[in-house]
Structures are given as structure tokens and as C-alpha cells.
């Protein structure tokens, strides 16, 4: 069970290079408002932001789980005379 988070992190980190947009693709060009490269870079940057948010949410979720489990253990100890 302890290996599942490590496997998930390994899979996510192996996909990070696909979400990175090149420097030239981040800048809009002169072809008009609809450019396939700019749209692709925008999607890649969005996935990058979502990946960073997922990491923050996993950290906050882990801390919340730890606090809840600690409070339950304290309640069990306190209620058992």
C-alpha cells in the first residue's frame, strides 16, 4: 500500500515533459487569433498549472488525513478508561 503513491508520482513525473511548452510557442505570432501552435502551448501550460495544483492539493489532503487520523487516535485513547 505504501508503494502506490510512489508509483503515482513516478507516472505523473514521467508525463511532465509533455506538458511543458517551448518558449517560442508561448508567444502569440502574427497569423491571427487562431494559431494551432499557440493553442497547443496554451493547453500544455494549462496542464502544467493543473499539475502544480494537484501537487498542492495532495499535500493539503495528506496533512488533513494526518490530522484526522491523529484526532481519532486521541479520541480512542481518551475514551478508553
CA-to-CA distance for 44 and 21, rounded, in angstroms? 6
3-state helix, strand, coil in the chain (%, to 5): 80, 0, 20
Q: Report which of 4, 7, 15, 25 is spatially closest to residue 51, judged by C-alpha positions.
A: 15
The per-residue pLDDT for 69 is 95
pLDDT per residue over 33-45, tens digit each? 555 655 555 665 6
Q: Is the dihedral of CA 19, 22, 25, 27 positive or negative?
A: positive
Q: Across the chain, what does the average pLDDT equal?
A: 75
The per-residue pLDDT for 40 is 58
pTM above the 0.95 mark?
no
Q: Which residue has the higher pLDDT, 70 or 27?
A: 70
Amino acid at each position: 500500500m505504501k508503494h502506490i503513491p510512489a508509483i503515482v508520482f513516478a507516472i505523473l513525473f514521467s508525463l511532465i515533459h509533455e506538458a511543458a511548452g517551448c518558449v517560442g510557442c508561448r508567444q502569440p505570432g502574427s497569423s491571427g487569433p487562431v494559431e494551432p501552435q499557440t493553442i497547443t502551448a496554451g493547453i500544455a501550460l494549462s496542464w502544467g498549472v493543473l499539475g502544480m495544483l494537484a501537487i498542492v492539493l495532495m499535500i493539503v489532503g495528506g496533512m488533513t488525513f494526518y490530522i484526522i487520523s491523529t484526532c481519532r487516535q486521541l479520541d480512542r485513547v481518551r475514551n478508553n478508561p
